[in-house]
Amino acid sequence: MDYYGSQMSHLIEQLSSLPGIGGKSAQRLAFHIIHMPKERVEQLAQAITEARENVRYCRECCTLTDQEVCPICSNPARDKKTIMVVENTRDLAAYEKTGKYEGVYHVLHGAISPMLGIGPGDIRLRELMQRLQGEVNEVIIATNSSLEGETTAMYISKLIKPTGIKVSRIASGVPVGGDLEYIDEVTLLRALEGRVEL
């Protein structure tokens, strides 16, 4: 039922098509936008349009950027001989927030998933292999601990091993504050295998 008229309903419908935005959130956002000053709405619309037109893949690591080479790849202080492979730009941002990783990244934009019809050719593996033609000492695989992430990690490892480049996998295990009785067997096994001496 149309409570607000066609334009308001259309705005709510468009907002609810975004990932993670349900009907109620879309309605709340629509009302917020309608009550914003007109110039703020224009700035928001312009920011969305400009981002869509100007954001592209970094020529080196395939992350999203509005430059040809992203700020991380163009930073001379970064260790270009160490590449961390992540599934998406959000994962890259999570590692950057730690402030501890000094290498560079490679963003796959997905993970191998035969169930969803996503094969090795559908993610940015070719670009990764091209990067390995340069001087690279280590590739750290930081895909998720899901079935797709593990499949992707194994596939990448098999591709890289013959080149002689060191391949490592991030440790995963028990989250801080997690009760062992509620944690699955794979996570517990990875935690045990990734143990460090105290």
pLDDT, tens only, 57-88? 999 999 999 999 999 999 999 999 999 999 99
Q: Would you say residue 27 lies in a domain? A: no
Q: Which structural domain range is residue 147 located in? A: 64-193
CA-wise closest residue to 88 among 62, 69, 115, 113: 62
Q: Is residue 6 part of a domain?
A: no
State pLDDT tens for residues 106-115.
Answer: 999 999 888 8
Tell me the per-residue pLDDT of 146-157, one tens digit each, with 9 for 90 and over: 888 889 999 999
In a domain, 112, yes or no: yes
**102 assigned to some structural domain:** yes
Query: Is residue 18, in this structure, part of any structural domain at all?
Result: no
Q: Which run of H or of E encompasses 35?
A: helix 23-35
pTM for the complete prediction? 0.79
Helix (H) or strand (E) holding 95: helix 89-98
Q: Does residue 22 belong to any structural domain of this protein?
A: no
H or E element at residue 79? strand 79-86
Structural domains in the chain (count):
1
Radius of gyration of the chain (CA): 21
Q: What is the CATH number of the domain that holds 119?
A: 3.40.1360.10
Query: Sorting pLDDT into bands at 50, 70 and 90, what band is 36?
Result: very high
Q: CA-CA distance, 186 to 189, in Å (whole number)? A: 5
Does a structural domain hold residue 135?
A: yes
77 within some domain: yes
